[in-house]
Amino acid sequence: MPLWIPITIAAAFLQNLRSTWQKQLTGDLSATAATYVRFAFGLPVAVVYLWGLHTLGGFALPSPNTMFLIYCVIGGVTQILGTFLLVALFAYRNFAVGTTYSKTETVQAALFGIIVLGDHPSLGAVAAILVSFAGVVAISMAKSHLTMMNFVRSLTDRPTLMGLGTGAGFGVSAVCYRAASLSLEADGFLISASYTLVVVLLIQTVLMGLWLAWREPQQLLKTAKTWKVSSLVGISGAMASMGWFTAMTIENAAYVRALGQIELLFTFASSRFLFKEKTEPLELVGIALVIGGLLLLLFLR
């Protein structure tokens, strides 16, 4: 089994865990501050990981170049913008439409990967991405009770455009992180991925810290008061990012993000078996399509 597959599955599991902890902060912090926490409290963990690889593992630190820094800045900023758009969607009555369109992330990552890196997915991988995407859309529609007619009619609505912008932000950031890591002349994928992660988290922490200090100074102070849960968010988020960055250094970013949709299966299992939530028929269809798409990706990529 290629190494990027178990790394991606582990990253998806840790991201699901991070989201669970992050939800506990919503009562104390604003959406922006809760997002800041994942970067600020994750940065020290990423630094320790990089230090361990360098000091204990004997990996030489790579030398950053201009293109590396450009990709890091673009990736970090587009991820923040994608997150802002996703949060802003919840202010609209028909936010479910926008969040469903935000799931185009994997498709857009494939397109950006072709444009930026020349990563041309195989026909089997394209089919797998489209099948799993259909499954994600079905799950989103089932959870929000969105009809296909409303989904199609909303193509020109603002929430739809914001949803597509969210998907673009996450898709661009994934490709930029891969491009940044590959641009380094490093001893191996572990040190290049970890170095990229530290630089990106530093950029995001500084930018969002300045934003909060300007717009929500009280929220910035509250992040320190919630340090116990925030630390759990930072640790699990940083470990998930280690997995994402490492996997995307090894393999096409679109493949990694497509396989990363296995996180939906973890979420579904939690809601069904732990919280005893009711499952809609369309949701089961979506789960089946996601599983089918992931199997196609693993065997036909």
What is the rounded distance in angstroms from the CA atom of residue 289 to the CA atom of residue 229?
35
Does residue 16 carry a pLDDT above 60? yes
* Least trusted range by pLDDT, from 42-56, 76-90, 143-157, 231-245: 143-157
What percent of the chain is modeled with pLDDT above 70?
Answer: 88
Could you state, in order of their start, the residue ranges of all structural domains in the chain?
A: 4-300
Pair 282, 141: CB distance under 8 Å: yes
Mean pLDDT to the nearest integer, 40-60: 96
Residue with tokens 């949701």: 283
pTM over 0.75: yes
Q: How far apart are CA 146 and CA 93, in angstroms?
A: 12
**Longest Cα separation, the chain:** 58
Task: Please report how the helices 217-225 and 189-215 are oriented relative to each other, as an axis angle in degrees rounded to 10.
Answer: 130
pLDDT-based confidence at residue 143 (cuts at 50, 70, 90): low
Most confidently predicted of 149-163, 195-209, 220-234, 284-298: 195-209
Q: How confident is the model at residue 91 (pLDDT cuts 50, 70, 90)?
A: low
Q: Which residues contact 185 (CB under 8 A, 6 or more apart)?
A: 62, 63
Is residue 27 scored above 80 in pLDDT? no
pLDDT > 70? residue 144: no
- Give yes or no for a contact between 300 and 127, defined as CB atoms under 8 angstroms apart: yes
CB 203 within 8 A of CB 73: yes
pLDDT tens-place string over residues 264-283? 777 777 666 665 667 678 77
For every residue of 205-234, DSSP letters joined together read HHHHHHHHHHH-HHHHHHHHHTHHHHHHHH
- Cα–Cα dist 111/257, whole Å: 13
Q: Cα dihedral angle (235, 241, 243, 246), rounded to 10 degrees?
A: -130
